[in-house]
Structure 1
Amino acid sequence: LGNDVETDTKKICKMIVWNELITLKHCQLSFPHVICFQSAMTAPVNLEYLKISHCNLNEMMALLKQVPKLKHFSVDIYTHEEQYPKYNVPSLQYLSHFTLESRRISYEQTEYILRHMPELKKFVFSGNSLQFVNGNMWERLIVQVLPLLQSFEFSVSLRYSEENPNLNELLLSFKTVFWSNHRWFITVDYYPFERYENLFIYSIPCKISSMHLKTPYDLQTLTTSTSESQAYNSVASFDVSICQSSVPSCTPTIARQYPNVKYLRINGNNEYDDYRLFSEKITKLINISAVKVLTFYDVHSHFDFKSLLLGMTSLHSLDLEYDLILKITNQSDDQTLCSYLAESITDLTLRHLDSINTKLLKKFSNIFRNIRYLSISSKIFPDLCCRKITWVLCCPSIHVISSSEKKFGPILFPV
């Protein structure tokens, strides 16, 4: 798309109503800027499944006037509207599934939208205001406006800047007979030492596939559920950040576990030096034997690599900084670890590779002998680094991807 977003959006929308696309049922629109529908959609279309991003409230209402047969609708409200939409939207009698993600919408506007969806059976909501953390408010809305609703997924994330929140008080309105009868349970997580978003309230079982967790033993948590044994089974991607505690004695216990994590990213901390303790905690949180892809970011010297890596029996892809891989390969006297890496790792990504030590690389090649894909990030002479590594590894089956931080995309070098 060009810089004229409105013109480009009009072109796309006109395509949808052309005779050639008159039978189109499924559509997903994603633009880098706000989508403009008000002057583009001038006639009803037969869409039944629609997902759009970066749309403001008025534009969304203009669109909904033209999709009377819509069954599934997902939208990300991107801009804030001070007033109610100026469009009178007809009741969407076919709409059964609605996903609303927004950081710029009020409860009143949310209710206004839902009043046009009387047949809704599943509603997924994501916001960033404490005004939505009110079980009585949602209960009233669902009873009065959404009598057919069967599934309600809810999440709010925000920065809580006052003194520690009262978790019991936050969850009190979600403990009524209404919530227990529907078996809709809510969990609240609070990270007292996090500088940015530190309060998360969400429904369980958690249906999102990706989750970001701060330091596990700095987490304060409470739930309305009697059991979290299967609450996080859907989480396949896990991003955990190591944060330095301001109060070392703050070590609440977490009973939860993430059993099906396939993608694990560990974000380090320059001020943190007890990675062994972190390793013990993370192995209690996730089933490390299920991890297939592991990324280290800003993780340094004191990490207990062996205990973590040897437990990842499904691991095949490793992404980390070049200095860190040298620390691992310097442990080449440990035959157990070396044998594991040699058999397991087929996909390796090295970041910040700005110098080549041939002697170290030869040791490296003996350990990672089953690599099929090697990706390199280097500021200085990335192509030269690739060719030198390829020459040292002497493996014709490796595909080396070189990407300089000064370039826009990767270059593939089949060997």
Structure 2
Amino acid sequence: MSPRATATEPASGSVDRSALAGARRVVVKVGSSSLTSIKGGISEESLTALADALAAKRNSGTEIILVSSGAIAAGLAPLGLAKRPRDLATQQAAASVGQGLLMARYTQAFGAHGVTVSQVLLTAEDLMRRSQHTNALRAMDRLLNLGVVPVVNENDTVATHEIRFGDNDRLAALVAHLVRADALVLLSDVDSLYDGPPAQGAKRIPLVTGAHDLEGVSIGKTGKAGVGTGGMLTKVEAASMAAGSGIHALVTSTPNAAAALNGEDVGTWFTVNGARKPVRLLWLAHVASVQGRLILDEGAVRAVRHHRTSLLPAGISAVHGVFEAGDAVEIAGADGTIVARGLVNYSSEELPRMLGRSTRDLGEELGTGYDREVVHVDDLVLV
């Protein structure tokens, strides 16, 4: 791969990190590979060093939310498992054992600095349903006001394949929006994003201002420790999600945590390139598992894309897939181009007899409830 002009390093300090150094509230995510060994045990040295850095920042006046992987990995050794299990039930069992071990270590490490931590376990439903994400925000706001560092993880013990975030990088980006953070820091075992394999002389990419800065960059998918689920690809996706929605983001290694939080020139800085969005729409655009597809006529495509209107039955020409009311679906034109994603108000069994008809006619013939939109504009996001 040929080097890109934008990949060259600037002089130290030329990338402005003041938004992180002076942030009021920061979400920090750490991956399994940074906390645990390939055997599944927690690395006391790594966890303590991270807690030292975060506690120092917290005690200087910055509110910290820690999104921590490692529960499943921490539960492997106590259960006698040699590697991360593939089946959901065993993953849930390992998470149930490992989460308590992980929190005990965090409680001890932060407590040495006089900082209290709390456990916050979230599922995708906690962010996709308005009442639940309001409750989650209220709880975390109160914890932060009390000086606590919330330690957030996906609730692996009860989450199913269909409603998982997919990885904690995306969860961290969504949490950053939920709590209205000023910055997101994604930590792993790689110190920065490079324009190729670092071992082959690739150059560090210190700044990303938009998708154009990542053109031609080959991004790895797996971590070297073998205990996580993401890799650099999911970190770049999460950082881009945050930056595109009004939150600065930084990708760097866990040993660089203190330097990163102090605004030093480490890692790859993703500068804001878009406005803040509701957390439910971010979940819908980037995380939701799509269960089906609605095909629209040209008029409906224009209405959705250019006028941001709700989707009505009259504009739908075909339905694909099997889904229930409340599921996420893709919304496409006749040529297959995806226009949007949305939460559908009807099942795939109900919709076919409604296509091409007005809501007034449907309400009169089928009764109250069938005069609603297929996808309300508040539950629809352009892609």
TM-score > 0.5, shorter chain as reference: no
TM-score scaled by structure 1? 0.24
- Of structures 1 and 2, the larger Rg is shown by 1
**Larger strand share, 1 or 2:** 1
TM-score scaled by structure 2? 0.25
Greater RCO, 1 or 2 (C-alpha within 8 Å, sep 6+): 2
